Amino acid sequence: MSGLTNPAAIIKGAYSLIVGLGVTIKAFFRPVVTSQYPREVIDISPRFRGHTKLVGDPENPERTLCIVCGMCQKSCPSGAIKKVEGEKKEGEKKKTLTTYILDFTTCSQCGICVEVCPTDALAFSADYNPVGFSREDCRYDLVNEYEQRRAL
Amino acid sequence: MIAQIEQAAAQIAGIVGWETIRIVVGLVGVLVVVLVNALVLTWAERKVSGHIQRRIGPKEVGPFGLLQPIADTIKLLAKELLTPQNVEKPLYLLAPTLIFVPVLVSFIVIPFDSYLQVKDINVGILVILAFSSLSVLSILIAGLGSNNKYSLIGSLRSVAQNIAYEIPLLLSLLAVVLMAGSLSLKDIVEAQKGLWYVVYQPIAFLVFFVASVAETNRTPFDLPEAESELVAGFHTEYSGMRFALFFLAEYTNMFIVSAMITTFFLGGYGGPILPGFVWFFIKTYLLVFVFLWFRWTFPRVRFDQLLNVSWKLLIPLSLLNLLVTGGILKI
Amino acid sequence: MVTKISEELKASLKGVDTQEASYERNGYHLTAEAQPGNMADVAGFFKDRTFYLEDMCCVDYGDYLELVYFFNKYSELCRVKVILKVEAEKPVAPSISHIYRITHWYEREIHEFFGVYFEGHPKLIYLFLHEGIDHYPLRKKRVPVPAEDKALLNSLSPETEEDAFFVNLGPQHPSTHGVLRVIVKMDGEYILSADPVLGYLHRMHEKMAENRSYLQFLPNPARIDYPGALLLNLAHVTTVEKLCGIEVPERAQYVRTITCELNRIASHLLWFGAFPADLGALTPFLYAFDDREQILDILEDITGSRLTYCYFRFGGLYNDVDDVFVDKTKAFVKRMRERFDVYEKLVTGNVIFVNRAKGTGIFKQADTISYGCTGPFVRSTGIPFDMRKAEPYAVYDQIDFQIPTGTVGDNMDRYNVRMTEMEMSLRIIEQAIAKLPSGPYKAEKVPKKLKPPKGDIYNAVESSRGEAGVYVVSDESDTPYRMRWRVPSYSNLMTFPSLAEGTLIADAIATLGSYDIVVPEIDR
């Protein structure tokens, strides 16, 4: 410490320490800024990128807007969309989606699948705390999830 | 029930004497204070650091996290006591227990109240200072016995730091002794009945405070146990309860040193209305709070800067203070 | 400037072919082709004219390998690309590590990925990959490592001296800011030599780029530099836009600028929390993260992510911003200005902090060219070099801001430069928000399968650590032929061994903290 023989520097240094102490003691008496997750439910912004979800057809809620073209599966950079299968039902012009498996462990939430979908059948969900005990729990069957949401 | 205890006590007193009983009871009380203090301080440290950092500290275990120290103790007791292979067994095992001896002896002379002192030795200050130097020995033993070059370097650093800061400790106390005219702690507290010595001796107070922060290895002088530095310090090789003992010793050291500052500068157990020992504990814990406050505000001082502060700043200051005090008192 | 250099080059060195290139199309001004015999002379030529080596990489063209060197100047923009063709069978090239010290590492990297042997390199051992690998990964065809080269693979054999006291700083260590291992040889408290070991976080982003289309590679830059994800996102997106000639609408440019500056502040706040933590003050970390939460909340509202953003698209943005964003950003700017006062009192003025940071880790201005340092590191030595002023992109040329510089180049200067940069970022955000135009947020008619024309381009942005550059070689397909990322922490970290020599270990750790390196960036 070079200023040791210099009393002005010592006083200035000591004053800076006291100023620093003042900052922390002021913070001590102010309210905490943490939120008690998971006990406290957090407001999620509408654009939050959780896992993707299927969007229902507004005219016919029994089916989703998906036409099983496979564009999302082809453009996913991580290969997270494992299975997109559908069948052509009687009297319908386009295919109906039966299986859509998303492996969320490799999804990077880039939004490319949502963007390239020609019918806007995919959207982001607001699920911010998905939990599971094994990798299998993170393989989402989005058609099932859509049916469950519709039942609610 | 009480009558029976009194009868039993009178019988034992017949054999060994009342004084011995008093001392034994006092020692038990001191142990209780030490253990309760350690529990309170582990909780207080985490809560204070939490609120300084705008977050809550422990809150799950018990209301306001009050049972957290109990959970920590159970965890540490349940941990495996690893003894590395090539350590010097006697030194390695001795160090954690040896670190407590000086602290407990220092408690004997601290006056918690005018009647709550285990033994009022008439050279009380000498006792405390002598035994606090002994704690350096246990750090050295811990480092040597660990058979680990990092621990050795850490303990040597710690020894150098402790030795360097004992001198300003002593010199600032001498000014107080000059004013009180006695080495006994009780006399010093009694001499502060009028006005506390902190008013007469502000420089000695500051020097003593800074030196005691360094003696207890607290930030900003906590290089011996620095986490983000390379060398983890003298307690690297200790695990489980042995590690807990080192930390217990650090918290107890903090309490002792705050108690000393209270006794020498802040009037000890003096104070209106409330009983003496309540004032004593209030003042001591306020000082402990300042120790915690320092830890969470300041960065660490580098080792050479640390030694410079002691040798080039604190010692000249305290010497000057002693000269001026002596001059004013005797003229 | 360019023609002058071209003429001088042709005049002084024989066998060097120069050709002017189009800056708008290629990102560099001049191409020069050197021969193995005179590469060292070419490097010396540029060093004498105070050019720094911006990047050095290698491209596998099948029947030959091309070593590409980029030289640039701090004082004015003059990017020269020098190529050196070596044969693919047994590639041998001269080393220029005695001229530009940064090539110590570049050449090791090219050796392990492509198999080029550099003559004259003092220690050609592997940098990122582990010793057991049996082929050269970045080649287009699988080329096995020849047997006689395997002797070079054993990279780390610390000398078994009697008094040598080797200590590992990391890879798990609170102060290495990532998975960095430094082998330190100590003499008591002082460091004799420090040797960083890299590669713990190597994820082959450059190989991934060759197997994914330009659009599919978008999530990757965020993982390369996670605190400054939007800035690297911007680098990737602007490079491809320049290559394809896509025009970005005004509104998108402004939003890009605003979000990038917010990200820069967030990245600097992270560094501001970690640097005093290295020195022992654990509280500023929490305060910095409180402010960082505000930024992350703002960015989450528009991009949907909190750390690894994937928000920019070719031609604009993924989605538009709304008035809530504008209001929140204005409120944040106001709040942040008050917080600087708190930081000033708690850290900057603190005498203990000043005594730890001042006078330690001094890096001289003269050495910056040899290492090619960029960013706050080079600005702290006094050179006012900032890509936002040297090579303006987005709307930086329409906004008024200054570049803070230091004088001595010690840790305190690096600290001050970054704190002032945060204030500059606030000014930029204020001005950009005030001028935010309305309009489309995305260019129309951007093809879904982007097939850039043939050619190569180098484009750089100023990330929070320095100059982050992308070199893309396109072969008209929808995946890049070669994508090379020039990262600032790489060249900055190379200076650490020379700075750490002879210092106390406490100072070395403080210096490492002041660099603000992000190891995923170095390892890619």
Is residue C356 within 8 Å of residue B302, measured between CB atoms? yes
Q: How far is C304 from chain A (nearest CA, A)?
A: 4
Provide the pLDDT for residue C272: 92
Helix/strand/coil for C90: coil
Q: What is the C-alpha separation between C240 and C244, in angstroms, rounded?
A: 6
Q: Which residues fall within 8 angstroms of residue B8, CB to CB, at 6 or more apart?
A: none
Residues of B in contact with C290 (CB under 8 A): 54
Dihedral angle, C-alpha B249, B254, B257, B259, nearest 10 °:
-110
* C283 closest CB neighbour out of B52, B229, B230: B52
Is residue C321 within 8 Å of residue C281, measured between CB atoms? no
DSSP label at residue C344: I
Nearest to C66 by CA among C84, C82, C53, C81: C84
Is B53 near chain C, with CB under 8 Å? yes
Q: What is the DSSP string of B146-181?
A: TT-HHHHHHHHHHHHHHHHHHHHHHHHHHHHHHHHT
What would the two tokens of residue C426 be?
């606030």
Backbone phi, psi, residue C56, to 5°: -145, 125
Q: What is the C-alpha separation between A59 and C487, in angstroms, rounded?
A: 51
Q: Which residues fall within 8 angstroms of residue C380, CB to CB, at 6 or more apart?
A: C363, C405, C406, C408, C409, C410, C413, C414, C416, C417
Provide the pLDDT for residue C150: 64
* B298 closest CB neighbour out of C175, C278, C281: C281
Residue of A nearest to C312 (CA): A110
Question: Which residue type sits at C74?
Answer: Y
Provide the pLDDT for residue B232: 60
* C352 closest CB neighbour out of B54, B298, B303: B298
Q: What is the C-alpha separation between C510 and B17, in angstroms, rounded?
A: 61
B48–A28 CB contact, under 8 Å: yes
Residue C118: enclosing H or E segment and its boundaries? strand C117-119
Q: What is the C-alpha separation between C346 and C178, in angstroms, rounded?
A: 26
Helix/strand/coil for C410: coil
Residues of C in contact with B149 (CB under 8 A): 165
Q: What is the C-alpha separation between C488 and C377, in angstroms, rounded?
A: 10
C398 has a pLDDT exceeding 70 = yes
Residues of C in contact with A115 (CB under 8 A): 313, 318
3-state secondary structure B70-99: HHHHHHHHHCCCCCCCCCCHHHHHHHHHHC
β-strand C80-87 against C30-34: which pairing, if any?
parallel
What is the number of alpha carbons within 13 Å of residue B43 lying toward its C-beta? Answer: 19
Omega of the bond leading into C171 within 30 degrees of 0 (cis): yes
Q: Which residues fall within 8 angstroms of residue B237, CB to CB, at 6 or more apart?
A: B84, B87, B92, B146, B147, B148, B151
Provide the pLDDT for residue A2: 45
What would the two tokens of residue B5 be?
């205890």
A24–B48 CB contact, under 8 Å: no
Residues of B in contact with C175 (CB under 8 A): 228
pLDDT tens profile C71-89: 988 888 888 898 899 988 8
C152 has a pLDDT exceeding 70 = no
Provide the pLDDT for residue C193: 87
- Mean pLDDT is lowest, of B12-21, C38-47, C131-140, for B12-21
Provide the pLDDT for residue A148: 87
What is the band of C32 on the pLDDT scale with cuts at 50, 70, 90?
confident
pLDDT tens profile C456-505: 999 999 999 999 999 999 988 888 999 999 999 998 999 999 888 888 88
C349 has a pLDDT exceeding 60 = yes
What is the band of C261 on the pLDDT scale with cuts at 50, 70, 90?
very high
Q: Which residue is listed with tokens 């000033």?
A: C344
Q: Which residues fall within 8 angstroms of residue B1, CB to CB, at 6 or more apart?
A: none
Is residue B295 within 8 Å of residue B219, measured between CB atoms? yes
Residue of C nearest to B218 (CA): C280
Provide the pLDDT for residue A1: 44
Question: Which residue type sits at B290?
Answer: V
CA distances, C343 to each of A23, A87, B260, C287, C348 (Å): 9, 62, 35, 9, 7
Mutate to test the interface with B, among C162, C189, C342, C346 (most CBs of B within 10 A): C189
Per-residue pLDDT of chain B (331 residues; tens, 9 = 90+): 788 888 887 887 777 777 888 888 888 888 898 889 989 999 999 999 999 999 988 888 888 888 999 998 898 888 888 788 888 888 888 888 888 888 888 888 888 888 888 888 888 888 888 888 888 888 888 888 888 777 777 788 888 888 889 899 899 988 888 888 888 888 888 888 888 888 888 889 999 999 999 888 887 888 777 654 555 677 777 877 888 888 888 889 899 999 999 988 988 887 788 888 888 999 999 999 999 999 888 888 888 888 888 888 888 889 989 999 889 888 7
Nearest to C456 by CA among C138, C238, C243: C243
Q: What is the C-alpha separation between C344 and C352, in angstroms, rounded?
A: 14
Omega of the bond leading into C376 within 30 degrees of 0 (cis): no
pLDDT tens profile A72-86: 888 899 888 888 888
Query: What residues form DSSP beta bridges with C309?
Result: none
Helix/strand/coil for B100: coil
A17–C219 CB contact, under 8 Å: no
Is residue C119 within 8 Å of residue C95, measured between CB atoms? yes
Q: Which residues fall within 8 angstroms of residue C455, CB to CB, at 6 or more apart?
A: C25, C26, C243, C473, C474
Query: What residues form DSSP beta bridges with A123?
Result: A53
What is the band of C328 on the pLDDT scale with cuts at 50, 70, 90?
very high
What is the band of C175 on the pLDDT scale with cuts at 50, 70, 90?
low
* Binding-site residues on chain C for chain B (CB distance < 8 A): 165, 167, 169, 173-175, 184, 188-189, 276-283, 286-287, 290, 346, 350, 352-353, 355-356, 504-507, 509
Is residue C225 within 8 Å of residue C520, measured between CB atoms? yes
CA-based radius of gyration for chain C? 23
Q: What is the C-alpha separation between C368 and B113, in angstroms, rounded?
A: 67
Provide the pLDDT for residue B4: 86
- Predicted complex ipTM: 0.88
Provide the pLDDT for residue B211: 92
Question: Which residue type sits at B44?
Answer: A
CA-based radius of gyration for chain A? 27
Judged by CB atoms within 8 Å, which residues 297-326 of B form the interface with A?
Answer: 297-298, 305, 308-309, 312-313
Query: What residues form DSSP beta bridges with C473?
Result: C456, C482
* A20 closest CB neighbour out of C212, C302, C346: C346
Q: How far is C268 from chain A (nearest CA, A)?
A: 21
Mean of pLDDT over chain C: 87
Give the global pTM.
0.91
Q: What is the C-alpha separation between C336 and C325, in angstroms, rounded?
A: 16
Q: What is the C-alpha separation between B318 and B320, in angstroms, rounded?
A: 5
Residue B281: enclosing H or E segment and its boundaries? helix B276-295
Is residue C164 within 8 Å of residue C158, measured between CB atoms? yes
Residue B12: enclosing H or E segment and its boundaries? helix B2-16
Question: Which residue type sits at A104?
Answer: F
B300–C277 CB contact, under 8 Å: no
Which parts of chain A sit beneath pLDDT 50? 1-3
Q: What is the DSSP string of A72-138?
A: HHHH-TT--EEEEEEEPPTT-SS-EEEEEEEETTS-----HHHHH-TT--EEE--------SSGGGG
Q: Which residues fall within 8 angstroms of residue C403, CB to CB, at 6 or more apart?
A: C379, C384, C385, C386, C389, C424
Provide the pLDDT for residue C143: 84
Q: What is the C-alpha separation between C196 and A93, in angstroms, rounded?
A: 63
Q: How far is A125 from chain B (nearest CA, A)?
A: 30
CA-based radius of gyration for chain B? 21
What is the percent of chain C with per-residue pLDDT over 90, rounded to a whole number? 28
pLDDT tens profile C187-218: 777 888 888 888 888 998 999 999 989 989 99
Is B11 near chain C, with CB under 8 Å? no
